[in-house]
Amino acid sequence: MKKQTHLLHAGRNAKENFGIVNPPVYHASTVTFPTVEAMNKAGENPTEGIYYGRMATPTSHAFEEAVAALEGADKAIAVQSGLAAITGAILAFVKNGDHILVTDSAYFPTKKFCNTVLKGFGVETTYFNPTIGSNIEKLIQPNTKVIFTESPGSLTFEVQDIPAITKVAKDHKIITMIDNTWAAGYFFNAFDHGCDISIQAATKYIGGHSDVMLGTIALGDDLYKKVKTYVYGLGYCAAPDDCYLAQRGIRTLPARLKIHEENGMKLASWLKEQPEVKRVLHPAFEDCPGHDIFKRDFTGACGLFSIVLQDHYSEKAVASMLDGMELFPMGYSWGGYESLMIPFNPKGARNASSWEDQGPCLRLHAGQENVEDLINDLDKGFERLNKG
């Protein structure tokens, strides 16, 4: 069955729900049992059945089954945010005295977690250049437990050679994880490329409507019980209404991603020709670091990319541009139906790689608006930018 078809049917069973197409929402904390024997039996394997509301409900199980189908995984775990998925997955495999490797282009809250919480627990983090490939072997220590990747990288969009990294990791029996949110688990199959765990902020494209806080951890049967038990012990769980909304979102994911991809490519191509733009950071473009890897490993692109403006533009000029945008409001997150744009400066967030560009940077999310309207809004924005 093709993925597009599978996503429409995974995680729902109309026969079990009176013929109702969509699985119902179960709001539950307490789950009762008719006998001591039934309670004890459920408690023998609480990660699989319905034992307590925080552990799972039929709603979360249905969503997790759909995510596993999307990612090509055996199982999936839903938690309350993308960051919770990242932190819970990492914590399940480290203890005091351990060491992990993290891409220098990771989502900044991931790095902040490593620099504060993990450091406080006595876990050392080494950041690596996202273009390192198989040379990551030189950074492995005897106590290295996890290699955490993100491809393309947040904000700057370097594409990593995931197969090269995971091959080294397997040789050293190290767990590999990827933040797979940009590809939405749809344009990149983490498991086909050697990853052990694929993480997403389902807040983004899976939810698709800017109204869900949710994270997912996709993984194999061999790791599921370990990670599920750990995140349960941390008190992590996903709200039933968010799981329900994300189930609805995942059904239309392929159709929505197609529009985001088309609009993103058209906007990036137009921006590349504008004199105000020094560089477009989009994996589908030849001058983006790792473009050849992108062509080899990815089946498409989402609507998120960045641009570097010419060096001479001041912060005041950039603010003038952004303050007047009509269809590109400023807001963190992305993956909803609407377009967004934020300014950023990657220099202060680099540990193992340098950022040479001097010009201001903007990250854009291409929503589902008419692309001509988006271009017109950007054109007016550049007029304000040039006026300073």
Give the pLDDT score at 338. Answer: 98
Task: Give how many domains the chain has, as a whole number.
Answer: 2
Task: Identify whether 387 is a catalytic site residue.
Answer: no
| Together in a domain, 193 and 52 | yes
| Together in a domain, 154 and 297 | no
Q: Which of 3, 26, 145, 179 is catalytic?
A: 179
Q: What percent of the chain has pLDDT over 90?
A: 87
The pairing of strands 144-150 and 124-128 is: unpaired
Q: Which of 51, 107, 186, 232 is catalytic?
A: 107
Q: Which of 12, 75, 111, 204 is catalytic?
A: 204
Whether 231 shows a pLDDT value over 80: the answer reads yes
Task: Identify whether 287 is a catalytic site residue.
Answer: no
Which of 209, 225, 251 is the C-terminal boundary of a domain? 251
Which of 251, 278, 297 is the C-terminal boundary of a domain? 251
Interatomic CA distance for residues 267 and 72, integer angstroms: 31
Interatomic CA distance for residues 191 and 197, integer angstroms: 8
| Together in a domain, 84 and 141 | yes
Whether 138 shows a pLDDT value over 90: the answer reads yes
Interatomic CA distance for residues 275 and 270, integer angstroms: 11
| Together in a domain, 162 and 21 | yes
DSSP string, 116-135: IIIHHTT-EEEEE-TT-GGG
Q: Using alpha carbons, select from 209, 255, 251 the residue that is nearest to residue 66.
A: 251
Looking up residue 380, the CATH number of its domain turns out to be 3.90.1150.10
Task: Identify whether 54 is a catalytic site residue.
Answer: yes
The vertex-271 CA angle with 266 and 275, nearest 5°, equals 155
Q: 117 is in which domain, residue-wise?
A: 3-251
| Together in a domain, 90 and 219 | yes
Which of 251, 270, 289 is the C-terminal boundary of a domain? 251
**pLDDT tens-digit series, residues 8-60:** 888 888 788 888 888 889 999 999 999 999 999 999 888 888 999 999 999 99
Q: Which of 52, 54, 248, 380 is catalytic?
A: 54
**pLDDT tens-digit series, residues 311-359:** 999 999 999 999 999 999 999 999 999 999 999 998 877 888 888 899 9
Task: Identify whether 204 is a catalytic site residue.
Answer: yes
